[in-house]
Amino acid sequence: MIAIAGKKAFQSIQAVLRQDKSEVRLSDLWRTIHDELTIGVRLPGGVLRLDAEDRRRLREYIHGLHGLDPLLDELDGDRVELAARTSNEMFSAQPVFGRLLRLVSRRPEIHLLTGCASTPPGSALTVDPSLIMAESLGAMVVVVENGAVFSRWHDVPIADSQAAGALAIYRGHDQEARVVADWLVSRPDDISIVAAVDFDPAGFEIALALGAASILLPEDWSKLPRDGSMNKARAFDEQYRPELIERIPVGWLPAYEWLVSQRAAFTQEALLARGVSLQLLTR
Residue 97: pLDDT over 70: no
Record the pTM: 0.72
Is the pLDDT score of 227 beyond 90?
no
For 141-191, write each residue's pLDDT tens digit: 999 999 999 999 999 999 999 999 999 999 988 888 888 999 999 998 899
Quote the pLDDT of residue 127. Answer: 93
CA–CA distance, 4 with 203 (Å, rounded to integer): 43
CA nearest neighbour of 216 among 150, 277, 151: 277
Q: Which residues pair with 49 in a beta bridge?
A: 23, 41
In angstroms, the CA 273 to CA 269 distance is 6
Mean pLDDT of 213-241: 93
Query: CA 246, CA 259: separation in Å to the nearest integer?
Result: 15
Residue 1 has pLDDT above 60, yes or no: no
Is residue 111 over pLDDT 60? yes
